[in-house]
Amino acid sequence: DGGITQSPKYLFRKEGQNVTLSCEQNLNHDAMYWYRQDPGQGLRLIYYSQIVNDFQKGDIAEGYSVSREKKESFPLTVTSAQKNPTAFYLCATFKERDRGGYTFGSGTRLTVV
């Protein structure tokens, strides 16, 4: 079945370290998104990419970086510049012709220790 794979499911990071969250999709969707969710809150957009080799900042891009070298992959790096990185991170894809709307992965829970 087609879908989105986010890995790892749980990630622990020491302060000052960069970590990379993986997002892979086999849905052949053009657009990919990274959202952050804090406890009891809605999702906030970090970065999004509409095509390969192109991406735009979302509402809370500071302290994060992304790349889109392949259509299937949109990794997110949480850098040491992100002051409060502990959160639930969700990757999503979208294809206009797909009437099912946006598809989300199962998320990565990042904890700074």
Give the three-state DSSP class for 92. Answer: strand
Beta-strand pair 43-51/31-37 = antiparallel
Among 15, 84, 101, 113, binds another protein (CB under 8 A): 101
At 83, give phi and psi (nearest 5°).
Answer: -75, -25
Q: Is 45 in the site for another protein (CB under 8 A)?
A: yes
Quick one: which segment of 11-19, 65-73, 76-84, 88-96 binds another protein (CB under 8 A)? 88-96
Q: Does residue 33 interact with another protein by CB under 8 A?
A: yes
Instruction: Dump the DSSP string for 27-73.
Output: S--SEEEEEEE-TT--EEEEEEEEETTEEEE-TT-TTEEE--SBTTB
Give me the residue label for tokens 């622990």. 12
| CB-nearer residue toward another protein: 16 or 100 | 100
Adjacent-strand bridge partners of 79: none
Residue 96 touching another protein (CB under 8 A): yes
Asked if 85 interacts with another protein (CB under 8 A), we say no
1-30 residues near another protein, rule: CB under 8 A: none
Binding footprint of another protein on the chain (CB under 8 A): 31, 33, 35, 40-45, 48, 58-59, 88, 90, 92, 94, 96, 100-107, 109
